Structure 1
Amino acid sequence: MSDSRGRVHRGGESERDVLGHSRGLMVYLPWIAMTSAASALLRRPPGHDRRGGRVAQPRAAG
């Protein structure tokens, strides 16, 4: 099926036929991945950079 601009659209197929999974699963999987990556960053101990190395801490005044 094509429209007046020549774009081709698929008809008669469900999202499960095209994706192989339900649309809800394709929404939740990236969300779970992003949430787990963000929580891993939040659990990083203070004084460590993104690559796992130590970062120099400023000395306390006094």
Structure 2
Amino acid sequence: MTSGRFTKRPVLWWNAACTEVVKEKRAAFSCLRRHRGNPQCLEAFRLCRARARRVVK
């Protein structure tokens, strides 16, 4: 009998730096969601998103 769940294989290129930048990006997005009209939060999120894209790529 099987569990019925599919397991995802971990990718070999994912490392601690990828985890860290994704965590920073999520925190910046959370701040942006709380403070919608603040341009500093928007800029911080954009920078974190760009950094995450570069590191993961």
Calculate the TM-score normalised by the size of structure 2: 0.36
Calculate the TM-score normalised by the size of structure 1: 0.34
Structure ID, larger Rg = 1
Higher percent of residues as helix: 2
Tell which has more relative contact order, 1 or 2 (C-alpha 8 A, sep 6+): 2
